[in-house]
Amino acid sequence: MSEIFATTGTIAAIATAIVPQQGSVGIVRVSGSEAIPIAKTLFHAPGRQVWESHRILYGYIRHPQTRQLVDEALLLIMQAPRSYTREDVVEFHCHGGIMAVQQVLQLCLENGARLAQPGEFTLRAFLNGRLDLTQAESIADLVGARSPQAAQTALAGLQGKLAQPIRQLRTQCLDILAEIEARIDFEEDLPPLDDKTIISEVEKISAEIAKLLATAEQGELLRTGLKVAIVGRPNVGKSSLLNAWSRSDRAIVTDLPGTTRDVVESQLVVGGIPVQVLDTAGIRATEDQVEKIGVERSRSAAQAADLVLLTIDASAGWTTDDQEIYAQVKHRPLILVINKIDLAAAETVQYPREISQVVKTAVVQNQGIAALEAAILEQVQAGKIQAADMDLAINQRQAAALVKAKTSLEQVQTTIAQQLPLDFWTIDLRGAIHALGEITGEEVTESVLDRIFSRFCIGK
């Protein structure tokens, strides 16, 4: 293993969030052979409480030398191998905020533990065989989930829903490999290989891989979500749209053009997809220094977004300013939002015909929001995600490995068709087996592990 992931030693970290809005309880987690000795040094349980695995003790955390009281707390002991990491684990359940947990962590570090790297607890769980790689990745997805559906999919992965089919496909490849190798080693004693059967088996495996690959796009949507930028002239109702959509007063709305000066963000969920909506400053030529910067930010928000909602005012029609803004964003995925249809019929607006997706709204009356969401789902072709039955979705790393496996299997088919010697069949088959093994972690390099686990948060 690499330096940053030395697999020995006792590690400690704050397992709960350290944020301004402090939680009421904070947890310091310790894993390794020194975990229980550290707990015995720092924790004092009054009365006749038993120091047993999977028990909670009540008591006080004291500085071992000065005896100074650090917190009134609960202690959870989980003895190896019945723990998250399969090592001895103890958890100090302290008062929330940052002072108690930071002081307790400091005491752990002074008494035999070192600070854990991001993902290091879960890495140990993987290295000790409690989780496979897809399950470990699912834990990161679960912690990062921004919609209930994303969390549901991650939980399914944690239950092994992804690992199971991958393992099964790998076993099938191994069985075929064994058949071929037997022919290479004991050619005379066995009935000849049936090429057709092997080709059809390989085809079936390829088809299963294709099915899994088809979930990658939705998986990506669930994990990273969509960034949607509302852009348009001043005063068309962009901020009003954000407020109506998020059912909040997040953005300032006035009847003065040039109200919004900076990008305002709101997090929503549309059909199970986490959506980050950006309300931007109205785009216009201006001499105002502050507004100028705001307009520049609107332009970059539009370029960085996955989807642009070009918003116009129905009562003003399609203006030359609208045309100018459109020219800047037309190469992006785009929906035209014709707002203020309570003031003028949308049909009177002469917008460019090449715009295929148009939604009519009167956001001050909460009209058209559902149609807008439907248009967005149509745009990302993910309407089906809404059914919360997305019980499986692969990530980019897994997709890359599946593509490798599929390519190798196609190569096997070609090799058989060309009637090349059996040795050639096995080379490509081994390639597929290796790629599938990379997904679950049977065959994995250090750098892949580094990449996966360093994305975790500290304490996980």
Ligand X SMILES: Nc1nc2c(ncn2[C@@H]2O[C@H](COP(=O)(O)OP(=O)(O)OP(=O)(O)O)[C@@H](O)[C@H]2O)c(=O)[nH]1
The contact mask relative to ligand X for 125-164 (x = CB under 6 A, - = no) is ----------------------------------------
Give the one residue of 31, 83, 215, 298 binding ligand FFO; rule: CB under 6 A: 83
Decide: helix, strand or coil at residue 255: coil
Please spell the DSSP secondary structure of 410-458, one letter per residue: HHHHHHHHTT--HHHHHHHHHHHHHHHHHHHTSS--HHHHHHHHTTSPT
Reading phi first (left if > 0) and then psi (alpha if -120 to 50, else beta), residue 194 is in beta
Contact (CB, 8 A) for 398 and 135? no
The contact mask relative to ligand X for 268-287 (x = CB under 6 A, - = no) is -------------xx-----
Q: How far is CA 289 from CA 81, 281, 299, 303, in A?
A: 63, 13, 16, 22
Give the Cα separation of 364 and 353 in Å (integer). 27
| Residue 258 touches which of Mg ion, ligand FFO, ligand X, none (Cβ within 5-8 Å per kind) | ligand X
Q: Does the annotation list 257 as a binding residue?
A: yes
Contact (CB, 8 A) for 323 and 317? no
Q: Is 234 in the site for ligand X (CB under 6 A)?
A: yes
Give the Cα separation of 59 and 49 in Å (integer). 10
| Residue 339 touches which of ligand X, ligand FFO, Mg ion, none (Cβ within 5-8 Å per kind) | ligand X
Give the one residue of 259, 357, 407, 413 binding ligand X; rule: CB under 6 A: 259
Contact (CB, 8 A) for 394 and 212? yes
Count of Cβ atoms closer than 10 Å to residue 65 Cβ: 7
Q: How far is CA 376 from CA 55, 72, 263, 273, 309, in A?
A: 50, 51, 21, 10, 9
Q: Is 16 in the site for ligand FFO (CB under 6 A)?
A: no
Give the Cα separation of 314 and 43 in Å (integer). 68
Least spacing, CB of residue 262 vs ligand X, in Å: 10
Rounded to whole angstroms, the maximal C-alpha distance in the chain is 90
Q: Which stretch binds ligand FFO (CB under 6 A): 81-89, 335-343, 417-425, 436-444?
A: 81-89
Q: Is 363 in the site for ligand X (CB under 6 A)?
A: yes
Q: Does the annotation list 144 as a binding residue?
A: no
Q: Is 312 in the site for ligand X (CB under 6 A)?
A: no
* Amino acid sitting at position 185: D
| Residue 432 touches which of ligand X, Mg ion, ligand FFO, none (Cβ within 5-8 Å per kind) | none
* Amino acid sitting at position 143: V
Give the one residue of 111, 152, 215, 260 binding Mg ion; rule: CB under 5 A: 260
Query: Which CB sits closer to ligand FFO, 136 or 278?
Result: 136
Q: Is 79 in the site for ligand FFO (CB under 6 A)?
A: no
Give the one residue of 83, 239, 379, 395 binding Mg ion; rule: CB under 5 A: 239
Q: Does the annotation list 177 as a binding residue?
A: no
Annotated binding residues, as ranges?
29, 91, 130, 235-240, 254-260, 279-282, 460
Chain residues in the site for ligand X (CB under 6 A)? 234-240, 253-255, 257-260, 281-282, 339-340, 342-343, 362-364
Chain residues in the site for Mg ion (CB under 5 A)? 238-239, 259-260
